[in-house]
Amino acid sequence: MKAKDPNCSFCGRKKSESLMLISGLDGHICDHCAEQANNIVEKELGGSPESITDINSTTGEKGGKKLPTPIEIKEHLDQYVIGQDQAKRTLSVAVYNHYKRLNSKKNNKKSDDVEIEKSNILMIGETGTGKTLLAKTLAKILDVPFCIADATVLTEAGYVGDDVESILSRLLQVANYKPELAERGIIYLDEMDKISRKGDNASITRDVSGEGVQQGLLKILEGTISNVAPEGGRKHPDQKYIKVDTTNILFICGGAFDGIERIISRRVQKQELGFKSSLNREIQDKKLLSLVSPPDLRAFGLIPELIGRLPILTALEPLDKPALMSILSDPKNALLKQYQHLFSLDNIKLSLEDDAIDFIVDMAFENKLGARGLRGICELILQDFMFEAPSQKGKSELVITKAIAEEKWNRADSQKFAS
């Protein structure tokens, strides 16, 4: 007796009428129905199941990803960023409230609900204190689309440079050109201090890369539906645009704001006279940033409208020697662990003596290089070894002493690190 030709349990096609018929416990599915089912799943979910759209609530109900609490966010930040406790607490609360706001907006459809406004963040701190690292780590914790943009390349429309909408095009690219994912992402806008107003005096010359950029950022920071060019760059009439709503995009802005300490000092009247005045002022400068307020930002050159759209203000403390020492060895992605892993790929065990580590920290601290300077100094000391070691197959251990570190430093042009 001839075996019965099986049919697809969905559309009824016979095995001979389809390219493939997949068998299950109690039925079959053909390649046509499998493809249609895949399209339906993608359309309904609007992205991969691992995306931020799965953060449904603070409890992770309905199979969604749980939104971490502020304490959990800070604990994760502690694994990658040394110090800056106050900045971490501020960022943890701000990010938690932002995505809690989005979840409540998604789940509650009542017209009489309280409308919670977006709270963007402004971080102020010297170079190398961890502003960019904090923003990157936050995005990694939440698994959301994240991009870094530089405010210095932005100009007013009609001038050489990038439009403010180019910031959104970068986030859109990270989100695989899916607006619904990009609209729940995070943008870190660096070098905000470089777009400060150049002066209060009236001039025939337009401030196209200063106050003009600040004015262009106002609607994007607050929330608007923007026409974004998919490939970035300037707009032109024949170009196709993607509409992106920035209402739910969290903007984290950062800048060094070099010289704002003097503005804060004048406001709080901390100037002193006498032989110890310079020493006291140096001690005070380390604490002055924590006293920064909107009037100080306005005196620095930010327009009041922009300051109002960055309600959460946090300052990062300058790094001292113990903090720099910890950055070298303690975090999960510590600098020394990175170099040890690089050498281990060539079967070489790298170790640095304590005196050598102290020397690296001293050089970074004296030249006010911050955490980024540590990498530059390590590169300078280890460069010759990284060049020669892969060819020396017999050598399996490399020990860096203080004498070696000093020799490599003195041979190099230290001026390029003392900027």
Tell me the Ramachandran region of residue 33: left when phi exceeds 0, alpha when psi lies from -120 to 50, beta otherwise. alpha
Confidence at residue 35, expressed as pLDDT on a 0 to 100 scale: 81
| Least confident range of 42-56, 275-289, 317-331, 370-384 | 42-56
Confidence at residue 285, expressed as pLDDT on a 0 to 100 scale: 53
Residue 174 CA to residue 184 CA, distance in Å, equals 12
CA-to-CA separations, 372 to 28, 47, 132, 353, 354, in angstroms, rounded: 59, 36, 11, 21, 20
Q: Residue holding tokens 């025939």?
A: 204
What confidence category does residue 38 fall into, taking pLDDT thresholds of 50, 70 and 90? confident
Confidence at residue 4, expressed as pLDDT on a 0 to 100 scale: 66
Confidence at residue 157, expressed as pLDDT on a 0 to 100 scale: 65
315 phi/psi in degrees, rounded to 5: -115, 140
Please determine, for residue 419, whether its predicted confidence score (pLDDT) is greater than 50: no
Confidence at residue 50, expressed as pLDDT on a 0 to 100 scale: 38
Average pLDDT over residues 42-49: 52
What confidence category does residue 203 fall into, taking pLDDT thresholds of 50, 70 and 90? low
210 vs 360, residue with greater confidence: 360
Proportion of the chain above pLDDT 70, given as a percent: 78
Please determine, for residue 49, whether its predicted confidence score (pLDDT) is greater than 50: no
Average pLDDT over residues 302-314: 92
What confidence category does residue 413 fall into, taking pLDDT thresholds of 50, 70 and 90? low
Q: Which domains does the chain have, with CATH numbers?
A: 66-107+115-198+207-315 (3.40.50.300), 321-417 (1.10.8.60)
Element (H, E) at 251: strand 250-255
CB 292 within 8 A of CB 265: no
| Least confident range of 103-112, 161-170, 251-260, 388-397 | 103-112
Proportion of the chain above pLDDT 90, given as a percent: 20
| Structural tokens at position 412 | 């190099």
Confidence at residue 297, expressed as pLDDT on a 0 to 100 scale: 92
Please determine, for residue 279, whether its predicted confidence score (pLDDT) is greater than 60: no
Average pLDDT over residues 50-61: 44
275 vs 90, residue with greater confidence: 90
Confidence at residue 9, expressed as pLDDT on a 0 to 100 scale: 83
CA-to-CA separations, 409 to 78, 212, 217, 320, 384, in angstroms, rounded: 31, 44, 44, 21, 12
Confidence at residue 81, expressed as pLDDT on a 0 to 100 scale: 87
399 vs 107, residue with greater confidence: 399
Confidence at residue 103, expressed as pLDDT on a 0 to 100 scale: 81
Residue 417 CA to residue 412 CA, distance in Å, equals 10
Confidence at residue 66, expressed as pLDDT on a 0 to 100 scale: 78
Residue 35 CA to residue 38 CA, distance in Å, equals 5
Confidence at residue 59, expressed as pLDDT on a 0 to 100 scale: 45
Residue 121 CA to residue 251 CA, distance in Å, equals 6
CB 352 within 8 A of CB 396: no
Confidence at residue 239, expressed as pLDDT on a 0 to 100 scale: 66
14-37 pLDDT, tens per residue? 877 777 788 877 788 888 888 888
Average pLDDT over residues 255-272: 80
Average pLDDT over residues 85-106: 86
Mean pLDDT of all residues in the chain?
80
Question: CB 199: neighbour CB atoms within 10 A?
Answer: 11
104 vs 274, residue with greater confidence: 104
pTM of this structure: 0.72
340-398 pLDDT, tens per residue? 999 988 888 999 999 999 999 998 888 877 888 888 899 999 998 989 877 877 668 88
Residue 103 CA to residue 240 CA, distance in Å, equals 31
What confidence category does residue 56 fall into, taking pLDDT thresholds of 50, 70 and 90? very low
Confidence at residue 356, expressed as pLDDT on a 0 to 100 scale: 92
